[in-house]
């Protein structure tokens, strides 16, 4: 695992946008693994700016999103599909047929089967990840099986509390999520995990220091990936003692 320390989330977004741009220039039909959440905001802002400046072309690329809240349709303003539409899809030129998302309001089994089929026949080239305070990646919560494929998840109280900031109150946060599995993430050719701020420090500290992967810390499965970059900001780096 490589680690890069950047000044802040803006610098992290710029760094990852540049890496993505380089990879896309080598392989225009890349499959991106996307994530929603606050960590992604600066990255997506730079991708949109670079697209507008004529520096990026997504017309041959595809993307798949990690996860979704069960019960929220794509036009619900707290769904991850909506987040991605607002922050990325409405501003860049992915072909709609190349965007692969869960429909949170679809039948859970049908959605999981569809995603599983897609991921069995396609390999993610460039997976972008945020991380939960409890170490979750996607909605793979602590104790998720490392061999998991797309599945539904009962969200932990930690995750519900952390995500309540996006809803009117914590009662409105859905209790179930759909997520691609740990197995699917590990199969990605390249993984970039971004973590900013003190709250993510305990998870990153263990990810970098433990010499084993532990299902209680889902992000630790990244130790098994072929090509991983962890991007952290200065605040987090200071806490975990990185230069
Ligand atoms: C969202 C996702 C989650 C987030 C994580 C961090 O698609 O996969 O695992 O990456 O909860 O969320 P933020 O970035 O809001 O701190």
**Ligand 1 contact via 67 beta carbon (within 6 Å):** yes
Model pLDDT, residue 165: 86
Model pLDDT, residue 88: 98
State the pairing for strand pair 190-195/228-233.
parallel
**Ligand 1 contact via 128 beta carbon (within 6 Å):** no
87-119, pLDDT tens digit by residue? 999 999 999 999 999 999 999 999 999 999 999
Cα of 84 from ligand 1 centre, angstroms: 13
Low-confidence ranges of the chain (pLDDT < 50): none
Cα of 133 from ligand 1 centre, angstroms: 9
**Ligand 1 contact via 63 beta carbon (within 6 Å):** no
**Ligand 1 contact via 39 beta carbon (within 6 Å):** yes
CA–CA separation, 15 and 31 (whole Å): 19
Per annotation, catalytic residue among 67, 68, 111, 184: 67
CA–CA separation, 39 and 209 (whole Å): 23
**Ligand 1 contact via 37 beta carbon (within 6 Å):** yes
Residue 143 known to be catalytic: no
Q: Please, which residues have CB within 8 angstroms of residue 154's CB and are 6 or more apart in sequence?
A: 141, 175, 176
Model pLDDT, residue 166: 86
Cα of 54 from ligand 1 centre, angstroms: 29
Report the atom number in ligand 1 closest to the C-alpha of 34.
7
Measured at the CA of 216, the angle between CA 224 and CA 237, to 5 degrees, comes to 70
Q: Please, which residues have CB within 8 angstroms of residue 162's CB and are 6 or more apart in sequence?
A: 132, 133
Per annotation, catalytic residue among 65, 134, 140, 163: 134
**Ligand 1 contact via 177 beta carbon (within 6 Å):** no
Residue 134 known to be catalytic: yes
**Ligand 1 contact via 150 beta carbon (within 6 Å):** no
Nearest CA to ligand 1 atom 2: 138
Residue 67 known to be catalytic: yes
Model pLDDT, residue 89: 98
Model pLDDT, residue 170: 87
Per annotation, catalytic residue among 68, 111, 125, 141: 141
pTM to 2 decimals? Answer: 0.95
């Amino acid at each position: 695992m490589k680690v890069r320390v950047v000044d802040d989330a803006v610098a992290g977004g710029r760094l990852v946008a540049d890496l993505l741009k380089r990879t896309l220039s080598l392989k225009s039909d890349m499959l991106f693994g996307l994530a929603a959440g606050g960590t992604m905001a600066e990255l997506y802002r730079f991708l949109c700016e670079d697209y507008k400046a004529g520096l990026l072309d997504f017309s041959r690329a595809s993307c798949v999103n990690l996860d979704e809240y069960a019960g929220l349709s794509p036009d619900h303003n707290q769904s991850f599909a909506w987040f991605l539409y607002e922050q990325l899809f409405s501003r860049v030129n992915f072909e709609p047929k190349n965007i692969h998302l869960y429909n949170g309001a679809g039948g859970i089994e049908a959605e999981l089967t569809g995603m599983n089929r897609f991921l069995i026949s396609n390999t993610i080239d460039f997976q972008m990840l945020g991380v939960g305070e409890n170490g979750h990646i996607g909605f793979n919560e602590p104790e998720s099986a490392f061999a998991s494929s797309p599945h539904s998840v009962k969200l932990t109280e930690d995750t519900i509390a952390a995500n309540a900031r996006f809803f009117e109150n914590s009662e409105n946060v859905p209790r179930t999520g759909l997520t691609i599995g740990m197995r699917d993430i590990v199969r990605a050719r390249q993984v970039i995990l971004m973590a900013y701020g003190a709250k993510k420090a305990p998870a990153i500290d263990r990810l970098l220091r433990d010499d084993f992967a532990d299902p209680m810390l889902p992000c630790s499965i990244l130790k098994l990936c072929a090509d991983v970059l962890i991007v952290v900001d200065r605040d987090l780096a200071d806490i975990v003692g990185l230069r």
